[in-house]
Amino acid sequence: MTLPYDEEVRSDDAARAMETITPALFPDDTSPLAVDLTGTCPRCGDVLPGERRWLVAVAPATKMNDRQRKQLVVELKELGIDLSRGDETFQLTCQCDGDHPGRPKGKKGCGSQFDIRVRWP
Look at residue 81 in the predicted model and tell me its pLDDT.
81
Look at residue 31 in the predicted model and tell me its pLDDT.
78
Look at residue 38 in the predicted model and tell me its pLDDT.
98
Look at residue 58 in the predicted model and tell me its pLDDT.
67
C-alpha distances in Å from residue 121, one per residue of 6, 31, 87 = 35, 11, 9
Burial 57-71, CB ≥16 within 10 A → b, else e: eeeeeeebeeeebee
pLDDT tens per residue across span 13-64 = 999 999 999 999 998 888 788 899 999 999 999 999 999 998 876 666 567 7
Domain ranges of the chain: 11-120
Contacts 24+ apart (CB under 8 A), 59-62: none
pLDDT tens per residue across span 76-98 = 889 888 778 899 999 999 999 99
CA–CA dist 43, 59 (Å, integer): 34
Predicted TM-score (pTM) of this structure: 0.82
pLDDT tens per residue across span 102-113 = 999 999 999 999
